[in-house]
Amino acid sequence: MLFKIGNADSGTKSVGAGGEKSSIPLPAAIGLLVVALVLLFFMVLRPMLFSEAPPPPTSAQTEGMPGGAPGGPEIPPPPVAPGGSVGGPGAADSAAGQPSPAPGAPATPAPAPGASTPAPAAPSAPGDVPLTPETGEILVKGTVTMVDAPKLKLRMSVTAVQLGGQPERALGSPRAKEVVLADNTDIVKGGQRVKLADIKPGATVWAIGPNLGEGQPLVARAVAVQ
């Protein structure tokens, strides 16, 4: 569109196509141009420049895909053992660092918390030397600390006791005990009778006799040496 500004001195004006004289002011033309540019920006350029990209897939969507992510290699699911456990037979035991039990083998029960480990049984003795305490008797087990063969006695540090008709019980802390022997006290070692002089400090012994109470000497009817 062409605009012709008339000469003020001559008094002439531009002639339109229909023979009618017309003119558009310059400010109006600039305004129309601005409006056209704004419409062009919002309708054409803005969608191209500020288009929103689709959100990335979430972790849940990625885990649900066969390969873990679009385009990734397909990862087969872990095997399912009988009973519904994932990872196949022995997976839980391998994770804990323990071998899986053989099929059909009974599981070994774990010891209860705080349960004391049973002390070893007394060594074998001749058939005529019973080492099981009866009613009113006590069996003490411990380590020999001193042997006085001429006086027929020894001292020991007791770590476990057993009363007649009861199981053996480990002591929380060792207790000193004096054991007195008589001429007829049986002393056995490895199933054979020995003498008191054959017992040395540091040996593990069992002594059995009447229960006279804590702090009292034990008059032993039999002593077994490990």
Q: pLDDT, tens digit, for every residue of 65-84?
A: 545 455 555 566 666 555 55
**pLDDT band at 214; cut points 50, 70, 90:** confident
Q: What is the mean pLDDT of residues 105-122?
A: 56
25 in any annotated domain: yes
Q: Which residue(s) pair with 223 in the sheet?
A: 187, 207
- Summarize pLDDT for 4-28 with one digit per residue, the tens: 444 444 444 444 444 455 577 888 8
- Whole domain around residue 194: which residue ranges? 137-225
Residue 204 forms part of a structural domain: yes
Q: How many independent structural domains does the chain possess? A: 2
Chain-centre distance for alpha carbon 69: 32
CATH code where residue 164 lies: 2.40.50.320
